């Protein structure tokens, strides 16, 4: 049934009227009617639309109340990337920016469009034939989330652009934010309803826009400011950024009234200080000002570097600071064992949030800033970064203040391993790598990684579940079938019987690993693959490595190093180096690791469960034919894979190359050896089969 003409006209009239009132209220801040009158018109339109559902359209003001929740947001690929801005933090950096611009344009004084830098979140609004069609968050700049239904609820976002001639396509870019007074009122409401309060307007705006239920977004007082455009089709583009923003304003979009056109660096700095003064009186939060070269032709000429335009810059206000008291200095153990001192603070409101902790980074910083427990300190919070202690106010140090000491033991009560500090770094770390609860997940992931034990399928998700579920505490538990078995795995997420069996099979397969792999898998700080190979070659067996007198070895290493430095200066013959390629610092790290009973326990269990091959490979003396020799592997060998053969060769100091050349000493050829074999023969290189290789490794050839 056709909608009567009169109804159609009435619906159009109501929509236009309501949108005008929205505009007057939310964009111009000059309401023409009372809230009650607005509500009356709104209900009238709702009524007509419900009587004639075929009239419902995406640009009706009734759409602003939100609709059914989405299961998830769709990805939205921006037509042109939404870049970020480079930052300037000082007048010097602004002068340098202006200089770069002038040089790039080869011109004298340059004109800029300047405006506040809104502290909200960037979005893109797409208007097709003047109707709001789609909107998205910035995301990573290339793809964001399609939050169209949520953006429709933002009253200052026009659902239809004003004007007679409208562009075919217009992508408006700008910021969604919340006014301070709206934020306060909303938080009061949240509190009254016993719901969670938001920390600051920025977070509140971001959280509100990313609601899957647009009816919730509709109840949040979001605002929008336009400040740039993306794609424009079917319209004459203005000549300057200032004119562009005025054009957006004429189309009915909210644009910041604080924007100005200024000239030269002096103009920029004057605006910066004016906005600094005005900042506290603005209805919304800003974290700086943005300078954009005014001429759009000049913008195009300057172009972009990496992910930011050369023609614009954000001049940030200094981070907010506040003073408070240090109640305690505690130590946190990171996933890799690094110890970080953290100041526990008397709660203080700074940069829009209440701060109770601040990082002190490391002991050197604590000493340099001379922070004591009991001190009054200045803390700073910039953007979303972790708050930090800037400095102490020395006059305020109380008599009972205490100096911080780095603990000698890991602060985790279960671990308590020795804490080490290696000379080359400022970081203290816990040496209980195989056992420390804080390092558990990281240790397991490293242990299972491809170049370590290579346990297929043991990734982050599974490790999280195994550790959080208390099934696995150390790498040794992986091989303990009393702990890790079909039954204990069955309770985990996405662990059907089959995949549980696969996980166990994958672990079983890694039993009897070579010594270098095993040593690398232990995750000893500073022991990478190369060092692991050198250690394995030197000691020949795990037993010998564990029983070595490490202190004596380190002392000997240092003695030989010193002596050789002396001899080198005199061109004398050098002493044989101890553990070449492994410096005293690395040795100390190994020694510390092995000095921890917990680590030794885990290693013992791993041995007992067969994780590592016990029989010692041929000793170095036997393998003297191999040291420094270059091997090339070709064709398939009867028992060994190429990787295994490579490990055996390297364990004895040989090298494995990919192609045959004059430098090749041995070609190890299996079945179906082809071109490499022919070339080696032509070059007269010794050719071995697998058995020959093994004999060579055993020193029998
Ligand atoms: S202009 C071509 N103007 O700052 C220039 N950006 O750190 C494009 N921002 O993600 C940006 N206020 O969302 C511009 N008045 C303003 C701004 C502004 C805030 C945001 C923008 C961007 C971020 C860069």
- Counting from 1 in the atom list of ligand 1, the atom nearest the Cα of 299 is 2
Whether the CB-CB separation of 440 and 467 falls below 8 Å is answered with yes
Compute, in angstroms, the gap from residue 376 CA to the centroid of ligand 1: 36
Q: Is the beta carbon of 587 within 6 A of some atom in ligand 1?
A: no
* The predicted structure's pLDDT at residue 383: 62
Compute, in angstroms, the gap from residue 258 CA to the centroid of ligand 1: 15
Q: Which fold has domain 620-697?
A: Rossmann fold (3.40.50)
Compute, in angstroms, the gap from residue 175 CA to the centroid of ligand 1: 8
Q: Is the beta carbon of 693 within 6 A of some atom in ligand 1?
A: no
Tell me the CATH architecture of domain 5-65: Orthogonal Bundle (1.10)
**CA gap 623, 620 in Å, rounded:** 5
Strand ranges inside 449-493, DSSP E:
none
Q: Is the beta carbon of 115 within 6 A of some atom in ligand 1?
A: yes
194 backbone φψ class: left, alpha, beta (φ>0; ψ -120 to 50) = left
**CA gap 208, 215 in Å, rounded:** 10
- Counting from 1 in the atom list of ligand 1, the atom nearest the Cα of 227 is 3
Tokens of 145: 């989330």
Compute, in angstroms, the gap from residue 308 CA to the centroid of ligand 1: 10
Q: Which residue of 87, 115, 117 sits with most ligand 1 atoms within 8 Å of its CB, as the best mutation to test the pocket?
A: 117
Q: Token match 């200066």: residue?
A: 569
User: What is the separation of C-alpha 557 from the centre of its chain, rounded to a whole number of angstroms?
Assistant: 40
Q: What is the CATH number of domain 87-316?
A: 3.30.470.30
3-state DSSP assignment of residue 145: strand
Compute, in angstroms, the gap from residue 432 CA to the centroid of ligand 1: 47
> What's the DSSP call for residue 701?
-
Q: What is the pTM of this model?
A: 0.59
The angle formed by the CA atoms of residues 473, 479 and 484, to the nearest 5 degrees, is: 65
Q: Which candidate, 315, 295, 308, places its Cα nearest to that of 105?
A: 295
Could you tell me the mean pLDDT of each successive run of 10 residues in the chain, 701 residues long? 86 93 90 91 92 87 88 93 93 97 96 97 96 95 95 95 93 97 92 86 93 94 97 94 97 96 97 93 94 97 91 92 95 91 94 86 91 95 78 95 95 93 86 94 94 93 92 96 91 80 94 94 93 90 94 93 88 82 90 95 95 67 74 90 82 87 93 90 91 83 67
Tell me the CATH architecture of domain 516-608: Orthogonal Bundle (1.10)
Q: Which fold has domain 433-510?
A: DNA polymerase; domain 1 (1.10.150)
Q: Which candidate, 313, 317, 247, 318, places its Cα nearest to that of 110?
A: 313
User: What is the separation of C-alpha 362 from the centre of its chain, rounded to a whole number of angstroms?
Assistant: 21
* The predicted structure's pLDDT at residue 620: 47
Nearest CA to ligand 1 atom 17: 117
Whether the CB-CB separation of 451 and 463 falls below 8 Å is answered with no
Q: Is the beta carbon of 293 within 6 A of some atom in ligand 1?
A: no
Radius of gyration (Cα) for the chain, nearest Å? 35
Could you state, in order of their start, the residue ranges of all structural domains in the chain? 5-65, 87-316, 320-403, 433-510, 516-608, 620-697
* The predicted structure's pLDDT at residue 73: 93
Tell me the CATH architecture of domain 320-403: Beta Barrel (2.40)
* The predicted structure's pLDDT at residue 700: 67
Residue 117 known to be catalytic: yes
Instruction: List beta partners, residue 146.
Output: 136
Q: Is the beta carbon of 286 within 6 A of some atom in ligand 1?
A: no
Q: Is the beta carbon of 314 within 6 A of some atom in ligand 1?
A: yes
Strand ranges inside 393-452, DSSP E:
402-403, 419-421, 428-430
Cβ neighbours of residue 559 closer than 8 Å, sequence gap 6 or more: none
Tokens of 479: 């091989």
> What's the DSSP call for residue 62?
G
Compute, in angstroms, the gap from residue 348 CA to the centroid of ligand 1: 29
Q: Is the beta carbon of 224 within 6 A of some atom in ligand 1?
A: no
* The predicted structure's pLDDT at residue 617: 54
What are the DSSP calls for 604-662, one per residue? HHHHHTT-B--SPPPPTTGGGGTTT-EEEEESB-SS--HHHHHHHHHHTT-EEESS--T
Compute, in angstroms, the gap from residue 117 CA to the centroid of ligand 1: 6
Q: Is the beta carbon of 190 within 6 A of some atom in ligand 1?
A: no
State the catalytic residue, choosing from 5, 13, 99, 117.
117
Nearest CA to ligand 1 atom 15: 117
Strands 169-178 and 131-137: unpaired
Tokens of 226: 């336009």
**CA gap 151, 214 in Å, rounded:** 9
Whether the CB-CB separation of 398 and 374 falls below 8 Å is answered with yes
What are the two backbone dihedrals, phi and then psi, of residue 439, each rounded to the nearest 5 degrees? -100, 0
* The predicted structure's pLDDT at residue 352: 73
Same fold, 433-510 and 516-608: yes
What are the DSSP calls for 528-544, one per residue? -HHHHHHHHHHH-SHHH
**CA gap 637, 634 in Å, rounded:** 8
What are the two backbone dihedrals, phi and then psi, of residue 506, each rounded to the nearest 5 degrees? -65, -35
Q: Which residue of 87, 118, 240 sits with most ligand 1 atoms within 8 Å of its CB, as the best mutation to test the pocket?
A: 118
* The predicted structure's pLDDT at residue 515: 93
CA atoms within 13 A on the CB side of 287: 19
- Counting from 1 in the atom list of ligand 1, the atom nearest the Cα of 175 is 13
Q: Which helix (H) or strand (E) element contains residue 392? A: strand 388-392
* The predicted structure's pLDDT at residue 615: 61
3-state DSSP assignment of residue 364: helix
Q: Which residue of 227, 249, 286, 317 sits with most ligand 1 atoms within 8 Å of its CB, as the best mutation to test the pocket?
A: 227
Q: What share of the chain is helix, strand, coil (3-state, %, to 5)?
A: 40, 20, 40
**CA gap 195, 192 in Å, rounded:** 8
Compute, in angstroms, the gap from residue 354 CA to the centroid of ligand 1: 26
**CA gap 578, 584 in Å, rounded:** 10
3-state DSSP assignment of residue 327: strand
């Amino acid at each position: 049934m056709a909608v009567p003409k009169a109804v159609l006209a009435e619906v159009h009239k109501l929509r236009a009227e309501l949108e005008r009132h929205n505009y007057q209220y939310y964009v111009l801040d000059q309401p023409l009617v009372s809230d009650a009158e607005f509500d009356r018109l709104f209900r009238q339109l709702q009524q007509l639309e419900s009587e004639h559902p075929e009239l419902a359209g995406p640009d009706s003001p009734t759409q602003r109340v939100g609709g059914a929740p989405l299961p998830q947001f769709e990805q939205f690929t921006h037509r042109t990337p939404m870049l970020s801005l480079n930052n300037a933090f000082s007048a010097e950096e602004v002068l340098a920016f202006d200089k770069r611009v002038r040089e790039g344009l080869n011109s004298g004084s340059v004109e800029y469009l300047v405006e506040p830098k809104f502290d909200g979140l960037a979005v893109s609004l797409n208007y097709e034939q003047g109707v709001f069609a789609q909107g998205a968050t910035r995301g990573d700049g290339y793809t964001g989330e399609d939050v169209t239904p949520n953006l429709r609820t933002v009253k200052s976002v026009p659902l239809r652009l004003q004007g007679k001639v409208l562009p075919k396509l217009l992508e408006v870019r700008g910021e969604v934010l919340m006014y301070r007074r709206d934020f306060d009122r909303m938080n009061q409401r949240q509190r009254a309803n016993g719901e969670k309060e938001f920390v600051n307007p920025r977070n509140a705006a971001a959280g509100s826009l990313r609601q899957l239920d647009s009816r919730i977004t509709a109840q949040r007082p979001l605002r929008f400011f336009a400040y740039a455009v993306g794609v424009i089709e079917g319209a004459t583009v203005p000549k300057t950024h200032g004119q562009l923003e005025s054009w957006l304003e004429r189309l009915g979009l909210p644009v910041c009234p604080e924007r100005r056109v200024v000239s030269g660096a002096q103009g920029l700095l004057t605006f910066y200080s004016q906005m600094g003064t005005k900042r506290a009186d603005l209805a919304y939060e800003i974290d700086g000002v943005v300078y954009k070269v005014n001429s759009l032709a000049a913008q195009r000429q300057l172009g972009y570097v990496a992910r930011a335009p050369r023609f614009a810059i954000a001049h940030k206000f200094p981070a907010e600071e506040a003073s408070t008291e240090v109640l305690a200095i505690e130590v946190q153990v990171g996933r890799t064992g690094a110890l970080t001192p953290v100041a526990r603070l008397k709660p203080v409101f700074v940069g829009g949030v209440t701060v109770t902790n601040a990082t002190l980074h490391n002991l050197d910083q604590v000493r340099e800033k001379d922070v004591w427990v009991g001190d009054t300190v200045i803390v700073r919070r910039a953007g979303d970064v972790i708050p930090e202690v800037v400095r102490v106010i020395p006059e305020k140090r109380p008599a009972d203040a205490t100096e911080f000491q780095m603990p000698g033991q890991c602060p985790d009560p279960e671990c308590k391993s020795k804490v080490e500090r290696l000379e080359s770094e400022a970081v203290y770390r816990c040496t209980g790598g195989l056992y420390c609860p804080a390092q558990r997940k990281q240790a397991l992931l490293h242990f299972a990684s491809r170049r370590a034990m290579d346990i297929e399928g043991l990734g982050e998700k599974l490790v999280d579940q195994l550790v959080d579920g208390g099934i696995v505490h150390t790498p040794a538990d992986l091989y303990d079938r009393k702990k890790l078995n079909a039954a204990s795995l069955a309770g985990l997420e996405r662990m059907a019987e089959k995949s549980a069996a696969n996980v166990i099979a994958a672990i079983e397969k890694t039993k009897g690993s070579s010594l270098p792999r095993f040593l690398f898998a232990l995750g000893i700080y500073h022991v990478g693959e190369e060092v692991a190979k050198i250690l394995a070659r030197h000691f020949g067996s795990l037993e010998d490595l564990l029983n070595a007198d490490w202190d004596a070895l380190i002392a000997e290493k240092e003695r030989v190093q010193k002596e050789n430095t002396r001899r080198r200066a005199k061109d004398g013959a050098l002493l044989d180096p101890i553990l070449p390629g492994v410096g005293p610092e690395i040795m100390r790290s190994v020694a510390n690791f092995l000095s921890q009973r917990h680590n030794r326990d885990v290693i013992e269990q791993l041995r007992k469960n067969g994780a590592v091959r016990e029989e010692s490979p041929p000793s170095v003396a036997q393998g003297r034919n191999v040291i420094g020799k270059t091997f090339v592997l070709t064709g398939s060998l009867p028992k060994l894979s190429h990787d295994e053969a490579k490990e055996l060769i390297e364990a004895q100091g040989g090298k494995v190359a990919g192609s045959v050349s004059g430098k090749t000493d041995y070609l190890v050829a299996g079945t179906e050896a082809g071109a490499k074999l022919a070339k080696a023969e032509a070059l007269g290189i010794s050719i071995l089969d697998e058995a020959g290789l093994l004999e060579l490794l055993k020193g029998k050839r």
